[in-house]
């Protein structure tokens, strides 16, 4: 610790250069924070998903419908408690940019299977009794200024109304709130009744987009998933059953391998940062050749000089990196881009650890070459150059 | 100058050869020299005569090609780089022509640098650094950075840094080479006080005959060999 003042003073030797370098490091780690939060959401974002829920879709494609008759067959399997079904509606409210998930669901079973959806008293009953009723997430309602009792029109993109109109009208009967942070996605969704949807659409009656089966014992989920798929093997509509977590991951992957893209961008950023910071450090040490030689003359050993220069690089990278990650942590809650289907962006503990790891790696990578050079510096040659 | 049985510094057959590409240059050739404790030596000679090289060998900054360098009974040849660094920290105070202060540190923190290598507490380090600055008459400028000091003041800070760990030997390479006559005289007087009152052994390289007069003895080097030796006026 007694050398910290010396390390700190060395960093402040060229204040403007150090500040600019710190800013570039902070910016890189701000980007790291954003990208890693996205990566986490897209690769582990469904960790909040119920361990006791299985999703069954068509084996061919997520968008291929399954017969509604499957519901009773799945429900009859040992280990299955309740079965709900749902269909992606894909309606647009006023403008495509107002994207949010709007899903037709079998109301009673869906709410029973998802206890993390919190409803005010009487809302459940209202939803079950009104055919055009819809539940909207509290955050979604706030965003569009909706209130209970409002009638909202959605433009169908996939399912035109049998009347020939592309407009479907829903009545908001209540707001959905999340039981905890992990279920936050429901606050940005809209759910409406499947029977209203099935009767109103022009085609596809008697089918469902996917089934959600609540399993009695989570440990049984793998066995039950296999049993469901075995039930419909060699049928016209074969199924693919998976845990809700896997399903959500597959959904997220529709956007591409976001984890890989994020890593690729980060690698490019860090390579650039490595060059910039490495050059700054090397230049900083080159300029101090005589000073380092003086320290050696005073009795600072080679090992100590190596450690001092390394500490300087590490201190700079860790300071800039922590500032960037802290800024990312503070600003991420302002973004709700993926709120529809995935949990909100935030800097997870694993991102902090990964960030600190990258900081240490980067600090060593940019600090080691000049530190070794400083360590090998010949005193008499360095002083003679002065 | 007190006479002692064993000299503080003893050089025997010291040679130093440098290589410039394929060519070798013999900078020092068989130097034999004894310096007693409490002496104040002015090492003189033309450029390229080997003064600084000799100083570097005695200060443990370089190793001889042949011969032996012994300071206070410690043979320096054969010591590892780490051992030499530790030895320098304990035994030698260095004063350079261009002061070589660290520009981002205050005078007090520059003086404190050698003490960072000791186990002294921060408080004790600070106390000793201020004492050293007081000794050179710069206690009032302790918080000033080198850029805020005059050349003479900077050299005084450098002297305080050389003194702070209380070494027996001060090695000065052209300590007044960058100063005007008046300031140079002040610095040389200070070195003389350190020699006379505090018993510091001083080995000073200089081109300046007036500076050399402050020393007790003058040693002349020419083309890598000791040319002549003479008493100076500084012994009074």
pLDDT tens digits, residue range B143-190?
999 999 999 999 999 999 999 999 999 999 999 988 889 999 999 999
Using CA coordinates, name the residue in chain A closest to B99: A294
pLDDT at residue B227 in the model: 82
Residues of chain A in contact with residue B161, where contact means CB-CB under 8 angstroms, are 298
Q: What is the ipTM of this complex?
A: 0.90
Whether B1 has a pLDDT exceeding 70, the answer reads no
CB contact under 8 A, A3 and B116: yes
Q: Is residue B2 in some structural domain?
A: no
Q: Is residue B89 in some structural domain?
A: yes
Characterize B181-219 residue by residue with b for buried, 16 or more Cβ atoms within 10 angstroms of its Cβ, and e for exposed.
eebbbbbbebbbebbbeeebbbbbbbebeebbebbbbbb
A179 and A261 fall within a common domain: no
Q: Is residue A176 in some structural domain?
A: yes
Mean pLDDT of chain B: 90
Cβ contact B132:B161 at 8 Å: yes
pLDDT at residue A117 in the model: 93
Using CA coordinates, name the residue in chain A closest to B93: A298
pLDDT tens digits, residue range B139-148?
999 999 999 9
pLDDT at residue B2 in the model: 47
A90 and A220 fall within a common domain: yes
A91 and A17 fall within a common domain: no
Q: Is residue B4 in some structural domain?
A: no
Give the closest of B52, B103, B114 to A299, CB-based. Answer: B114
Q: Compute CA distances A52 → A86, A304, B225, whole Å.
A: 17, 57, 92
Give the closest of B82, B89, B105 to A298, CB-based. Answer: B89
pLDDT at residue A342 in the model: 59
pLDDT at residue A45 in the model: 47
Domain containing A370 equals 4-45+257-385
Mark the ranges of chain A whose per-residue pLDDT is less than 50.
Answer: 45, 47-48, 339-340
Q: Return the minimum-mean-pLDDT range out of A73-82, A225-234, B196-205, B220-229.
A: B220-229
Give the closest of A9, A296, A383 to B85, CB-based. Answer: A296
A226 and A284 fall within a common domain: no
CATH number for the domain spanning B100: value is: 3.40.50.300
Angle subtended at Cα A237 by Cα A235 and Cα A242, rounded to the nearest 5 degrees: 110
Closest approach of B34 to chain A, Cα-based (Å): 23
Provide the number of structural domains found in chain B: 1
Q: How is residue B120 annotated by DSSP?
A: -
A154 and A262 fall within a common domain: no
Structure tokens at B51: 């003064």
pLDDT tens digits, residue range B60-110?
999 999 999 999 888 998 899 999 999 999 999 999 988 899 999 999 999
Select from A173, A206, A236 the last residue of a domain. Answer: A236
Q: Is residue B178 in some structural domain?
A: yes
A77 and A214 fall within a common domain: yes
Q: How is residue A201 annotated by DSSP?
A: B
Residues of chain A in contact with residue B124, where contact means CB-CB under 8 angstroms, are none
Residues of chain B in contact with residue A9, where contact means CB-CB under 8 angstroms, are 102, 104-105, 109
Q: Is residue B16 in some structural domain?
A: yes
Q: Is the pTM of this model over 0.80?
A: no
Percent of chain B at pLDDT > 90 equals 76
A231 and A97 fall within a common domain: yes
A300 and A225 fall within a common domain: no
Domain containing B109 equals 9-235
Provide the number of structural domains found in chain A: 2
Closest approach of B171 to chain A, Cα-based (Å): 11
Using CA coordinates, name the residue in chain A closest to B82: A301
Q: Count contacts between A and B (CB, < 8 Å).
A: 64
Residues 6+ away with beta carbon under 8 Å from A218:
A51, A52
């Amino acid at each position: 610790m007694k050398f910290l003042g010396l390390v700190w003073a060395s960093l402040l030797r060229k204040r403007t250069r150090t500040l600019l370098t710190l800013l570039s490091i902070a910016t890189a780690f701000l980007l790291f924070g954003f990208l890693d939060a996205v990566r986490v959401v897209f690769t582990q974002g469904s960790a909040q998903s119920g361990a006791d829920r299985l999703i069954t879709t068509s084996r061919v494609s997520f968008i291929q419908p399954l017969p509604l008759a499957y519901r009773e067959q799945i429900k009859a399997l040992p280990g299955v408690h309740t079965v709900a079904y749902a269909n992606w509606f894909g309606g647009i409210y006023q403008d495509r940019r107002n994207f949010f998930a709007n899903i037709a669901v079998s109301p009673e079973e869906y709410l029973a299977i998802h206890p993390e959806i919190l409803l005010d008293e009487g809302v459940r009953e209202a939803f079950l009794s009104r055919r055009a009723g819809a539940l909207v997430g509290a955050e979604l309602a706030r965003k569009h200024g909706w209130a209970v009792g409002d009638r909202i029109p959605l433009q169908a993109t996939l399912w035109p109304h049998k009347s020939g109109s592309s407009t479907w009208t829903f009545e908001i009967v209540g707001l959905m709130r999340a039981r905890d942070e992990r279920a936050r996605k429901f606050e940005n969704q809209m759910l409406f009744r499947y029977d209203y949807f099935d009767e109103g659409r022009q085609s596809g009656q008697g089918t469902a987009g996917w089934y959600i089966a609540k399993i009695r014992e989570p440990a049984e989920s793998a066995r039950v998933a296999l049993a469901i798929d075995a039930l419909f093997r060699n049928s016209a509509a074969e199924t693919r059953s998976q845990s809700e977590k896997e399903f959500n991951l597959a959904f997220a992957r529709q956007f591409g391998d976001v984890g890989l893209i994020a890593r690729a961008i980060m690698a490019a950023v860090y390579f650039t940062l490595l060059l910039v910071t490495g050059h700054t450090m090397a230049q900083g040490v080159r300029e101090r050749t005589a000073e380092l030689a003086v320290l050696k003359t005073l009795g600072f050993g080679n090992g100590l000089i190596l450690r001092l220069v390394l500490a300087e690089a590490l201190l700079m990278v860790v300071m800039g990196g922590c500032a960037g990650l802290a800024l990312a942590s503070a600003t991420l809650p302002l973004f709700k881009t993926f709120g529809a289907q995935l949990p909100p962006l935030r800097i997870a503990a694993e991102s902090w650890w990964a960030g600190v790891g990258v900081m240490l790696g980067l600090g060593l990578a940019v600090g080691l070459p000049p530190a070794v050079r400083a360590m090998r510096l010949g005193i008499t040659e360095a002083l003679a150059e002065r | 100058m007190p006479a002692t049985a064993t000299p503080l510094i003893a050089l025997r057959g010291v040679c130093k050869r440098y290589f410039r590409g394929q060519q070798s240059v013999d900078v020092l050739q068989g130097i034999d020299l004894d310096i007693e404790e409490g002496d104040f030596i002015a090492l003189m000679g033309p450029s390229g005569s080997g003064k600084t090289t000799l100083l570097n060998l005695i200060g443990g900054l370089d190793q001889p090609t042949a011969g032996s360098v012994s300071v206070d009974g410690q043979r320096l040849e054969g010591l590892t780089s780490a051992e030499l660094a530790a030895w320098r920290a304990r035994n030698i105070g260095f004063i350079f022509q261009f002061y070589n202060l660290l520009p981002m540190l205050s005078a007090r923190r520059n003086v404190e640098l050698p003490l960072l290598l000791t186990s002294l507490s921060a408080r004790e380090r600070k106390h000793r650094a201020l004492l050293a600055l007081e000794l050179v008459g710069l206690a009032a400028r302790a918080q000033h950075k080198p850029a805020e000091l005059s050349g003479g003041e900077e050299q005084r800070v450098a002297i305080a840094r050389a003194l702070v760990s209380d070494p027996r030997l001060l090695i000065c390479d052209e300590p007044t080479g960058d100063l005007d006559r008046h300031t140079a005289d002040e610095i040389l007087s200070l070195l003389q006080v350190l020699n006379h009152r505090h018993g510091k052994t001083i080995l000073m390289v200089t081109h300046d005959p007036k500076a050399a007069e402050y020393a007790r003895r003058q040693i002349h080097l020419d083309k890598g060999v000791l040319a002549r030796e003479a008493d100076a006026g500084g012994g009074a």
